[in-house]
């Protein structure tokens, strides 16, 4: 089905890239204001701390959330979900929302029909009902084959377009930080070099990657039945590169199973009524990560310049944590390492508040160090076990909806509670 020869598909990838500069400098977030009113943390700072903890956990752990699907008929939704179920969860979760629309205008201004488009930062995908409802007029379409619109979406075509767009999501996994630090996966490797799987793959390295991704997965067992017609197969080199890229790390393997998929699918279903809840979460998480980095850099340098060791240490912890979260896509250990740094900082803040309290007897470096270590251990434990354990527990008790409740409760309480209890324990032991 040579749709591409006849109707180039374009992506908003380029348009999305232009969005970055305007949001590249968010206001730095601070974990918890170091106030003197130690024991009575006010409700707002507790809430804020829990919200940030949830964002940090989300950025640190492999995501298993399905996109919010809107505008689709029951039949289209079934094809979409069936296709997503057959693709790796780590790729599916890069897509924030899928919107079925009657028609997509071509962002490049040509006459070519656009079948699907995905925005990089939020993973907002649009699929064109018109574009994906074409039916072949002349049997096996070669370069000269013709297509004409039919009444209903062609399932095989929809599946192919969706897989292509998820391929873009995979290419940009890592989001903002990845884009700002050298770019997407298709930047290197064999992408952009011949042989190509389709005419459209020849246009750019990104499209080569997405077309190859589509081909790679549609060839696999789960999605067989999709006609491949006259297209050449994936070259051995590109197949090997794709295989390598799709290998799951241990953290991704923990969540790529029915329990987490069903929970993630339920989350997508719940947010379908308001997709911004799903895509906003992804975006806010990226901005929080970026603000840790930018804020960490500025606090570290101003701490050094002013000879303020206290500020320097906290700035460095933020910077390290932000980098860890930003590059967690590349190494699964970086996420938990980042939670440890954030937990250590929360521990130091707690020791500060303790020391500032009236009649405090334990304001020693030893206590601060113990609070940092305790906060780090508690932050990792709570930040990892909270969301994952909460999901597992909730799912076991009440199925997918229980999993969603467990995920939310575990996310907002896990890191905040873990780091607080850890720091408290550290202080108690040291003093």
* Residues making contact with Zn ion (CB under 5 A): 11, 207, 210
For the CB of residue 117, give the shortest distance to Zn ion in the complex, in Å: 8
For the CB of residue 132, give the shortest distance to Zn ion in the complex, in Å: 14
The residue at minimum Cβ distance from Zn ion is 11
User: 3-state SS of the chain: helix, strand, coil percent to 5?
Assistant: 60, 5, 35
* Closest CB to Zn ion among residues 210, 283: 210
Going by the DSSP 8-state scheme, the letter that residue 221 receives in this structure is G
Q: For residue 262, how many other CB atoms are within 10 A of its CB?
A: 18
* Closest CB to Zn ion among residues 11, 63: 11
For the CB of residue 319, give the shortest distance to Zn ion in the complex, in Å: 35
For the CB of residue 122, give the shortest distance to Zn ion in the complex, in Å: 16
For the CB of residue 330, give the shortest distance to Zn ion in the complex, in Å: 23
Tell me the three state secondary structure of residue 303: helix
For the CB of residue 213, give the shortest distance to Zn ion in the complex, in Å: 10
Residue 235 vs residues 163, 164, 241, 423: alpha-carbon distances, Å: 18, 17, 10, 54
d(CA 54, CA 405): 13
**CA distance from start to end of the chain:** 72
Question: Who's near 95: CB < 8 A, 6+ residues apart?
Answer: 67, 118, 123, 125, 165, 166, 169
For the CB of residue 115, give the shortest distance to Zn ion in the complex, in Å: 9
* Closest CB to Zn ion among residues 90, 170: 170
* Closest CB to Zn ion among residues 126, 207: 207
Say if residues 310 and 34 touch (Cβ distance below 8 Å). no
User: Length of the chain in residues, anyone?
Assistant: 431
Say if residues 9 and 161 touch (Cβ distance below 8 Å). yes
- Torsions phi, psi of 51, nearest 5? -65, -45
* Backbone conformation region of residue 140, classed left if phi is above 0, alpha if psi is from -120 to 50, else beta: beta
* Closest CB to Zn ion among residues 207, 318: 207
Nearest Cα neighbor of 245 from 333, 171, 178, 192 is 171
For the CB of residue 120, give the shortest distance to Zn ion in the complex, in Å: 11
For the CB of residue 164, give the shortest distance to Zn ion in the complex, in Å: 6
* Closest CB to Zn ion among residues 11, 198: 11
Nearest Cα neighbor of 236 from 248, 244, 228 is 244
The token duo for 214 is 């589509």
For the CB of residue 143, give the shortest distance to Zn ion in the complex, in Å: 20
- Torsions phi, psi of 124, nearest 5? -80, 120
Tell me the three state secondary structure of residue 359: coil
CA-based diameter of the chain, in Å?
87
Nearest Cα neighbor of 260 from 390, 418, 412, 96 is 390
* Closest CB to Zn ion among residues 171, 354: 171
* Closest CB to Zn ion among residues 211, 262: 211
* Closest CB to Zn ion among residues 76, 207: 207
* Closest CB to Zn ion among residues 9, 90: 9
The token duo for 114 is 């656009």
């Amino acid at each position: 089905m040579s749709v591409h020869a006849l109707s180039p598909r374009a992506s908003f990838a380029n348009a999305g890239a232009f969005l970055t500069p305007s949001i590249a400098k968010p206001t730095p977030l601070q974990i918890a204001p170091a106030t003197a009113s130690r024991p009575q943390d006010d409700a707002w700072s507790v809430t804020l701390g829990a919200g940030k903890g949830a964002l940090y956990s989300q950025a640190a752990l492999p995501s298993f959330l399905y996109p919010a699907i809107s505008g689709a008929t029951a039949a289209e939704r079934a094809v979409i979900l069936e296709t997503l179920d057959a693709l790796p969860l780590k790729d599916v979760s890069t897509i924030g929302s899928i919107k079925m629309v009657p028609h997509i205008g071509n962002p490049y201004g040509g006459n070519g029909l656009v079948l699907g488009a995905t925005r990089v930062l939020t993973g907002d995908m649009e699929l064109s009902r018109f574009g994906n409802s074409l039916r072949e007029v002349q049997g096996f379409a070669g370069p000269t084959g013709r297509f004409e619109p039919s009444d209903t979406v062609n399932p095989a075509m929809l599946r192919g377009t969706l897989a292509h767009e998820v391929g873009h999501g995979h290419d940009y996994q890592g989001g903002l930080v990845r884009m700002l630090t050298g770019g997407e996966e298709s930047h290197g490797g064999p992408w952009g070099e011949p042989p190509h799987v389709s005419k459209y793959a020849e246009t750019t390295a990104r499209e080569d990657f997405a077309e190859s991704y589509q081909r790679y997965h549609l060839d696999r067992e789960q999605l067989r039945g999709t006609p491949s017609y006259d297209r050449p197969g994936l070259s051995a080199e590109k197949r090997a590169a794709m295989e390598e890229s799709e290998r799951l790390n241990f953290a991704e393997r923990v969540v790529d199973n029915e329990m987490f998929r069903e929970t993630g699918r339920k989350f997508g279903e719940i947010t379908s009524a308001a997709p911004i809840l799903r895509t906003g979460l992804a975006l806010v998480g990226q901005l929080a990560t970026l603000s840790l980095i930018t804020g960490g850099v500025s606090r570290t340098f101003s701490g050094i310049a002013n000879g303020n060791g206290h500020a320097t240490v906290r700035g460095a912890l933020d910077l390290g944590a932000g980098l860890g979260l930003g590059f967690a896509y590349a190494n699964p250990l970086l996420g938990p390492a980042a939670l440890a740094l954030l937990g250590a900082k929360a521990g130091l803040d707690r020791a500060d508040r303790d020391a500032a309290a009236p009649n405090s007897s334990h304001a020693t470096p030893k206590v601060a160090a113990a609070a940092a270590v305790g906060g780090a251990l508690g932050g990792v434990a709570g930040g990892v076990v909270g969301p994952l354990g909460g999901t597992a527990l909730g799912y076991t008790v009440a199925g997918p909806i229980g999993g969603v409740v467990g995920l939310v409760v575990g996310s907002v309480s896990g890191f905040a509670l873990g780091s607080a209890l850890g720091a408290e324990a550290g202080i108690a032991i040291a003093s």
